[in-house]
Amino acid sequence: MLLNQLLGRQPQALLFDLDGTLIDSVPDLASAVDHTLKHADLPPAGETLVRGWVGNGARKLLERALKHAQSDADLDALLPVFFEAYEACCAEYTVAYPGVEAALQHWHKQGIRLACVTNKPERFALKIVRHFGWDKVMPVVLGGDSLPQRKPSPEPLWEACERLGVERTDALMVGDSVNDVEAARAAGMPVIAVPYGYNYGSDIREAKPDLVVEQLDELI
């Protein structure tokens, strides 16, 4: 089992990023971005562009959209518009990546504790996790606004371990971006990456995670 090789034993906990790791959320994010741009009388960005902007939270996403539109519109005024639009559609076209469901269910049955550690605002992350029924196997969900710090800071990973009741040295991080790799390194835990997510157009292998798998069920 590949997980055991990274720690030299079976991990007690797995911490997962959400967007780009467990789910492809870009269709719904793009819908909310385009709604917000329309509200500001700006042209839509479209799903292809938004796919390259995701990964650093909603504020940065909208900042990139406004920059692309060459607009000096008030970002703080538009964020509530984006949040309202996204809350209405965040689980409409979002899908789980292949292998995710089988992997999560397998690890839950193995007694491995699971948590979601994302930079997405907590209320959206919770809504999506519940939409897929993962709250039954993933009791801890930390968003980008759950703590004063967010990834790539290590504190969210440490907090997830504390809430799960496991030692940091018994946990692994699973993500898709350099933020996840840097957070895991700072937290002192191994990190597994998937290559299909949102890493700003760069190959995640360049961030030197401990392991890259094409889909999560390769790990079971």
Residue 198 near residue 60 (C-beta atoms within 8 A): no
* Euclidean distance between CA atoms 136 and 115, whole angstroms: 11
| 170 labeled part of a ligand binding site | no
Peptide bond into 44 cis (omega under 30): no
* Euclidean distance between CA atoms 3 and 183, whole angstroms: 19
Residue 76 a catalytic site member = no
Residue 204 near residue 194 (C-beta atoms within 8 A): yes
Set 17, 28, 180, 210: catalytic member = 17
Per the listing, tokens 């959206």 go with 124
Residue 176 near residue 197 (C-beta atoms within 8 A): yes
Residue 79 near residue 62 (C-beta atoms within 8 A): yes
| 176 labeled part of a ligand binding site | yes
Residue 58 near residue 83 (C-beta atoms within 8 A): yes
DSSP H or E run through 212: strand 211-212
| 34 labeled part of a ligand binding site | no
Binding site for Mg(2+): residue ranges? 17, 19, 176
Catalytic residue set: 17
